[in-house]
Amino acid sequence: MKILVIGSGPTGVHFALSVLKKNHQVTMIDVGTQRPAMALPEENFTGLKQSLDDPVRYFLGEKFDAAILPEPGTDSKYYALPPSKDYVFEAPQFFDFATYGLSPLVSFAAGGLAEAWTGGCYPLNDTELSAFPFSYDDIEPYYGEVARRIGIAGAEDDLARFHPHHDDLSPPPSLDENSARLLARYEDRRATLISKHKIIMGRSRYAVLTEGRDGRGGCRYCGRCLWGCPNQAFYTPSLTLRECVAHANFTYRAGFFASYFRLAPDSSIAHLVAYAVKGCGRETFCADAYILACGTISTSNLILRSVYKSTREIIRLTGLTDNRQVLAPFINLAMLGRSYNPDSYQYHQLAVGMLSADSSQYIHGQITTLKTATVHPLIANLPLDFKTAISLFSDFRSGLGVLTLFFNDWRREDNYLTLEQTSIDGARDTWPRLSIHYTPPEDDPARIDSALAKLRRFFYDLRAPIIPGLTRISPVGSGVHYSGTLPMSREKKSWCLSENCQSYDIPNLFIVDGAAMPFLPAKNLTFTLMANAVRVAERAF
């Protein structure tokens, strides 16, 4: 069968690899912006600072964009994505949008958004899958397959009550000292802490190899995770793209913006129209089946444009969801007077889960201790003059960390994507532009306050108090877990998908990215998206 896949993010590449293994002919269309060469791959973080010709430019950017300065009257961020990841978020000229209530991050890179992700990988359990047309038992083999392909580190510890068993979970890298001391304190007082606070702590699950395999190195604790892992221990989808490219049946057409599907009178796709990102070329692509894996925002855009092009009708795709995210810096008092080690794995290594009477309201948190990440946003936010803040900060630095909380979201009719009429020029056509509408759930402030109150008491008992005044509710859209606009549904409904992610409206179309999610649990979604893409490839092709 000839299959056309659009997008090389985590969902596109895992779908493609599965159908390639079944001997199908696969063409992948992708804007596919390439990562620039890795700077001095043999160096660790400290070596990089010492050996680069212009370290300031590397770490802060040509225009110092990665330096976050507090803006009076606003809650400033605690970190910015580094200049080495700028390419992930470059958009082609054809992509334009207006947004009302949610600021999205969209990627057109080879590998997609997960070229800049932090690797959190958690399987959903049956409660979280209750709105899906399949159960945990149905998707479990595909979680195992993805874990085998990418390498997921973690432990079946206390948190395993929330994260059901799947195959190929590998032992995690060593903990940095701050995380190790925090976990030891939890383990010492575990029974009391759990019964008093109903909060569980354990190792987080993340996409990193502890030991090398398949041409990738194991983690060598170089502290460069945020800027890009130099020895491929940390998983990004461009590694799977490389595997696809090695297949004789695979054709990768990077440099094309998929603009719209030409729909035939029977509603099936006749062909895809794509524009060359450079120059003014236009090409059409035909296949037996078309797979959308562009990420929820771009996939929805392509459907909206296809309907508009065929009928001049502007439709709405409702049910846009994203996880609300809260950042709470804390200080682990057990680290006072100790120094930090920059030669550490940099992202989260611990996680928390909050029990609740209603298990569908599970709240998920990841704990990232401060190692090599830029520290000036934290210093600048301390309610002290700069000199005192720096001096106090150097005493406390090794004990600092940030708890990142995620809250679930569910599909609501008033959160939607549509097109709006303003003339922007998309190559030869004039298109209405994408328009994104989102309002957070009404109970957001109450559920955030309630969770934070419990976590403050829990972290206090861990002797790692959350620092008063520094907690930030991230702007809407910061979760980067967009989903829900073309959901799977057992019921045959317009702009929904079957159990195998086949469109009920366009018979030769399958959608395998976040748009297909009927509900967004608190846990990071990408592991489920990859497993679902493999599930669809195995069941429908």
Ligand X SMILES: Cc1cc2nc3c(=O)[nH]c(=O)nc-3n(C[C@H](O)[C@H](O)[C@H](O)COP(=O)(O)OP(=O)(O)OC[C@H]3O[C@@H](n4cnc5c(N)ncnc54)[C@H](O)[C@@H]3O)c2cc1C
Using CB under 6 A as the criterion, which residues of the chain lie in contact with ligand SF4 when the complex forms?
208, 219-225, 229, 231, 233-234, 345-346
Query: Which residues sit opposite 365 in a β-bridge?
Result: 352, 405
In the list ligand X, ligand SF4, none, the entry touching 220 (Cβ below 5 to 8 angstroms by class) is ligand SF4
In the list ligand X, ligand SF4, none, the entry touching 112 (Cβ below 5 to 8 angstroms by class) is ligand X
Per CB under 6 A, which region of 6-14, 167-175, 324-332, 500-508 contacts ligand X?
A: 6-14
Which one among 3, 10, 437, 516 touches ligand X, defined by CB under 6 A? Answer: 10
3 state DSSP class of 351: strand
Distance CA 437, CA 322 (A): 12
The smaller minimum CB distance to ligand X, of residues 6 and 307, is found at 6
Which one among 27, 526, 531, 534 touches ligand X, defined by CB under 6 A? Answer: 526
CB of 164 to ligand X, least distance (A): 17
Which one among 5, 19, 26, 32 touches ligand X, defined by CB under 6 A? Answer: 32
Distance CA 140, CA 71 (A): 46
Q: Is 519 exposed, middle or buried (0-12, 13-18, 19+ CB in 10 A)?
A: buried
Q: How far is CA 149 from CA 190, 257, 385, in A?
A: 34, 28, 50
Residue among 228, 189, 199 nearest 405 (CA)? 199
In the list ligand X, ligand SF4, none, the entry touching 346 (Cβ below 5 to 8 angstroms by class) is ligand SF4
Q: Which positions from 249 to 268 touch ligand X by CB under 6 A, shown as an x/- string?
A: -------xxx----------
CB of 528 to ligand SF4, least distance (A): 22
The smaller minimum CB distance to ligand SF4, of residues 208 and 382, is found at 208
Of how many residues is the chain composed? 541
Rounded to the nearest angstrom, the gap between the alpha carbon of residue 253 and the centroid of all alpha carbons in its chain is 24
9: contact with ligand X by CB under 6 A: yes
Per CB under 6 A, which region of 19-27, 290-298, 435-443, 490-498 contacts ligand X?
A: 290-298
The 3-state DSSP composition of the chain as helix, strand, coil percent (nearest 5) reads 30, 25, 45
Q: State the number of CA atoms in the 13 A half-sphere of 502 facing the CB.
A: 12
In the list ligand SF4, ligand X, none, the entry touching 223 (Cβ below 5 to 8 angstroms by class) is ligand SF4
Distance CA 10, CA 294 (A): 10
Number of residues that bind ligand X (CB under 6 A): 40
The conformation of residue 134, written as its DSSP 8-state character, comes to: S
Residue among 350, 377, 353, 354 nearest 202 (CA)? 350
CB of 152 to ligand X, least distance (A): 11
Distance CA 523, CA 248 (A): 37
Question: Of 477-496, which residues contact ligand X (CB under 6 A)?
Answer: 480-481
152: number of Cβ within 10 Å: 27
Which one among 20, 370, 378, 529 touches ligand X, defined by CB under 6 A? Answer: 529
The smaller minimum CB distance to ligand X, of residues 124 and 331, is found at 124
Which one among 20, 26, 116, 363 touches ligand X, defined by CB under 6 A? Answer: 116
Query: Which residues sit opposite 28 in a β-bridge?
Result: 5, 252
Are 13 and 21 in contact, with CB atoms under 8 Å apart?
no
CB of 43 to ligand SF4, least distance (A): 10
513: contact with ligand X by CB under 6 A: yes
Question: Of 49-108, which residues contact ligand X (CB under 6 A)?
Answer: 105, 107-108
The smaller minimum CB distance to ligand X, of residues 128 and 513, is found at 513
Helix (H) or strand (E) holding 137: helix 136-150
The smaller minimum CB distance to ligand SF4, of residues 321 and 346, is found at 346
In the list ligand SF4, ligand X, none, the entry touching 294 (Cβ below 5 to 8 angstroms by class) is ligand X
Q: How far is CA 119 from CA 204, 296, 366, in A?
A: 10, 19, 11
Q: What are the φ/ψ torsions at residue 468 (nearest 5 degrees)?
A: -60, 140
Name the E strands within 427-478.
Answer: 429-437, 472-473
Q: Which two tokens stand for residue 416?
A: 């939607």
Which one among 97, 117, 261, 519 touches ligand X, defined by CB under 6 A? Answer: 117
The smaller minimum CB distance to ligand SF4, of residues 42 and 443, is found at 42
Geometric angle at alpha carbon 16, from 15 and 19, rounded to 5°: 90
Q: Which positions from 209 to 248 touch ligand X by CB under 6 A, shown as an x/- string?
A: ----------------------------------------
The smaller minimum CB distance to ligand X, of residues 322 and 399, is found at 322
409: contact with ligand X by CB under 6 A: no
Q: Which residue type is seen at 117?
A: W
Task: Give the orientation angle of helix 10-21 with respect to helix 136-150, to 10 degrees.
Answer: 90
The smaller minimum CB distance to ligand SF4, of residues 12 and 223, is found at 223
Which one among 104, 120, 401, 518 touches ligand X, defined by CB under 6 A? Answer: 120
CB of 536 to ligand X, least distance (A): 13
Distance CA 5, CA 253 (A): 10
Which one among 368, 489, 524, 532 touches ligand X, defined by CB under 6 A? Answer: 524
174: number of Cβ within 10 Å: 14
CB of 98 to ligand X, least distance (A): 17
- For ligand X, the binding residues (CB under 6 A) are 6-12, 29-32, 105, 107-109, 112-114, 116-120, 256-258, 293-295, 298, 302, 480-481, 513-514, 524-527, 529
